[in-house]
Each structure stands twice: as structure tokens, then as C-alpha cells.
């Protein structure tokens, strides 16, 4: 059964997420997305284990001058959870985003990508390079094999035989992931953590969380290896595309060497390093991120 999205549809989490919900029926589920402002489109794509709530502090200022579209991947946030396909793979998430953005017919897109949002958003981009105007990459990757060195203990656990019980039954993933890779933990108040946890109240609603970590391609036999390799090979299409790299330098998951890989791929890119931010830099330094994005957009109009 698809997860009921009505209970969260109008939830604002004490006003911290005040956006009107929008839905499109896509591939057997209701895909939720934020759509605020007007003008040139910014598409903000979250990763794992978050949802569009990740962008709540960026959308209001950025949407003053531009249109901000922030979708929730299937099984996350205010989106529904389809029974099929399962397990969810990278190709499924790319197809969902592609359908949404083509339905909305957005062009001249600035992609703002974080974590798994990078492979998903870039997977769309290499299929439709003519629609992409700029790239903003935040603590993400799009390479095989996994470039982040050894897996953090939490990801290793999820990928082990014990992972299913740990994620689905014990709900042991989301909160440790957020707390463990946010430098300024004081920003993760009880209300903020409640908002991040809200879409995942039952074992069945946590299936997407289990799938993301298990879908990271390491070897050629992994189901999403070929898809990720194809994305990596397509990155050259954006060698002349205006690109901004915003990086939390305390990230233990996608650490500084991954940023340097992006700089080698896109030597023309502007880089903004945030010394006191970790993987969830949107929680650590939202105002600084908005400032550097605004400056980048104005400089590359």
C-alpha cells in the first residue's frame, strides 16, 4: 500500500516549513514538491536520509527573485511510498525527477544538489543538458567506485545483514546520521529532528532509507554501478557550464578529497569552502550558503 501523504500534507512543523504542498502522480505514487517564487528555476534535490525540509532556510530568500522547486524522492518527505519498484534504485529516482521536471517543463535550470541528490540530479542533467544553465554541488559525488574512502560505520551496518532490522524496526539510522554529520548540533533542535523523522513513523515507511545506503555502487556487480558510471562519463557535457562547489569541510562521509575530484573535473568552478560545516551544511551554515549562491547566480546571469 502506498503510504498516506495526507497526514503530512499540510504540516508546517511549527511554521518552519510554511510552503504550499504540490503533488504530481508519477510512476504509481504521489510525488510532493515545493514550488515557491517565480522566474529562473532553481531545482533543489535532497539526498539520504533527508527530504525537502533540508532546504527550508534556503528557499525563502532564494525564491524572492527566482522559482525554487524542491521535490521529495519517493518514500521520503511528503511523497508517497509505492510498493513497486522495490528495492528503489538510482535509475528509478532519476526517472521520477525526469518525469516531474519534464511535466513542469522547466528550462534554464540551476541544479542545487546534495548527497544522493547529486547522482539523481546529474542523471537527469546528462539526459537533458539543453535544460541546464548552472550547477551547484554540495557534498555530493557521481563517481564509481565510491570515492569517500571506507564506509562510515553507520553505512556499513545498514549494508550488513543486520541493516534491515536496524533501519526498519529499530529506526536507528536517521537521527544518528544527522547528529553525527552536523557540526553545529545545536541547530538540530527537538522540533527540527521531529520534522526530519515525521515521514518515517513505521517500518514500512522507512524502506527508502534502507535502499539508499545499500544502493551505493562499489563494484561492477552492484545494481547501480552501470548507471553511476554512465553519469560519471557524462559529466564532461558540463565542462563549460557555470558551476559552484559548496563544501562542508568537516564532512567525514564525502570529505575534502572528493571536493578536489570535482575541482579536477570542473577546473572552472567557483569553490566555497565552509570550515565549520559537515555533511549537512544546510543545517550548519544556511545563511552563508544563501549568500554564496546569490553571488554566484548574479555573477553568472
Q: What is 49-103 written as a DSSP string?
A: S--GGGGTTTHHHHTTTSEEEEE--TTSTTS---SSS-S--HHHHHHHHHHHHHH
- Name the residue with cell 557550464: 241
Is 246 inside a domain boundary?
yes
CB 21 within 8 A of CB 11: no
Percent of the chain at pLDDT > 90 equals 95
For the cut 80, the answer to whether the pLDDT of residue 4 exceeds it is no
Number of domains in the chain: 1
Residue 1 confidence (pLDDT): 41
Is 1 inside a domain boundary?
no
For the cut 50, the answer to whether the pLDDT of residue 97 exceeds it is yes
**What range defines the domain where residue 30 resides?**
6-299
Is 17 inside a domain boundary?
yes
Q: Is 150 exposed, middle or buried (0-12, 13-18, 19+ CB in 10 A)?
A: exposed
CB count in 10 Å sphere of residue 12:
11
For the cut 50, the answer to whether the pLDDT of residue 57 exceeds it is yes
Is 162 inside a domain boundary?
yes
| CA atoms of 175 and 170, how far apart (whole Å) | 12
Quick one: pLDDT band at residue 3, thresholds 50, 70, 90? low
Is 159 inside a domain boundary?
yes
| CA atoms of 226 and 91, how far apart (whole Å) | 10
Mean pLDDT of 62-72: 98
Is 289 inside a domain boundary?
yes
Average pLDDT, the chain: 96
CATH number at residue 215: 3.40.50.1820
The residues facing 140 across adjacent strands are: 115
| CA atoms of 181 and 57, how far apart (whole Å) | 18
Mean pLDDT of 153-175: 96
pLDDT in tens, 99-109: 999 999 999 99
Amino acid at each position: 500500500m502506498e503510504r498516506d501523504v495526507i497526514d503530512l500534507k499540510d504540516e508546517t512543523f511549527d511554521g518552519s516549513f510554511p510552503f504550499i504542498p504540490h503533488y504530481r502522480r508519477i510512476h504509481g505514487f504521489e510525488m510532493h514538491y515545493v514550488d515557491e517564487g517565480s522566474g529562473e528555476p532553481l531545482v533543489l534535490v535532497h539526498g539520504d536520509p533527508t527530504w525537502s525540509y533540508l532546504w527550508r532556510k534556503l528557499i525563502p530568500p532564494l525564491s524572492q527573485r527566482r522559482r525554487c522547486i524542491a521535490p521529495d524522492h519517493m518514500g521520503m518527505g511528503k511523497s508517497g511510498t509505492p510498493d513497486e519498484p522495490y528495492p528503489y534504485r538510482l535509475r528509478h529516482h532519476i526517472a521520477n525527477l525526469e518525469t516531474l521536471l519534464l511535466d513542469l517543463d522547466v528550462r534554464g535550470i540551476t541544479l542545487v544538489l546534495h548527497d544522493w541528490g547529486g547522482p539523481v540530479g546529474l542523471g537527469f542533467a546528462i539526459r537533458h543538458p539543453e535544460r541546464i544553465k548552472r550547477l551547484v554541488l554540495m557534498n555530493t559525488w557521481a563517481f564509481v567506485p565510491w570515492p569517500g574512502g571506507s564506509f562510515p560505520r553507520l553505512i556499513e551496518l545498514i549494508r550488513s545483514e543486520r541493516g534491515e532490522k536496524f533501519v526498519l524496526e529499530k529506526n536507528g539510522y536517521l537521527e544518528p546520521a544527522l547528529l553525527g554529520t552536523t557540526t553545529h548540533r545545536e541547530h538540530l533542535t527537538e522540533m527540527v529532528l521531529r520534522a526530519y523523522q515525521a515521514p518515517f513513523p513505521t517500518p514500512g515507511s522507512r524502506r527508502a532509507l534502507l535502499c539508499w545506503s545499500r544502493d551505493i555502487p562499489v563494484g561492477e556487480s552492484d545494481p547501480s554501478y552501470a548507471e553511476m558510471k554512465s553519469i560519471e562519463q557524462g559529466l564532461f557535457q558540463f565542462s563549460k557550464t557555470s558551476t559552484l562547489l559548496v563544501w562542508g569541510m568537516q564532512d567525514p562521509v564525502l570529505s575534502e578529497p572528493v571536493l578536489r575530484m570535482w575541482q579536477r573535473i570542473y577546473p572552472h568552478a567557483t569553490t566555497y569552502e565552509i570550515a565549520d560545516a559537515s555533511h549537512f551544511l544546510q543545517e550548519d551554515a544556511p545563511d552563508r550558503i544563501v549568500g554564496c549562491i546569490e553571488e554566484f547566480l548574479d555573477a553568472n546571469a
